[in-house]
Amino acid sequence: MCLYAQTPARRNRQVLVDLIAVALIVLTVWAAFFVRDMIMLLAEPGRKVESSGDGLAEELGNAGTRRRTYRSSATS
């Protein structure tokens, strides 16, 4: 079983098309990794904001708990 045609012109075209296909596959994989890296880079500020918001919510919750505790002990 032959992978390519026997005539040189047709074989050359087949090899050229195969090389172009391989190049397009490599380019697509590279582009996918590039896009992934850019998305991860752009996601970092969002992660920092989320972390800051979680910390703020926790501190506000603690402040409310301390305030209720202070009021309870002051009225007693």
- List, for residues 18-45, the tens digit of each pLDDT value: 999 999 999 999 999 999 999 999 999 9
Question: Is pLDDT above 80 for 71?
Answer: no
- As a whole number of Å, the CA-based R_g of the chain is 32
Answer whether 0.85 is exceeded by the pTM: no
- Distance from C-alpha of 57 to C-alpha of 51, rounded to nearest angstrom: 10
Under a CB-based contact definition with an 8 Å cutoff, are residues 9 and 3 in contact? no
Helix (H) or strand (E) holding 34: helix 8-75
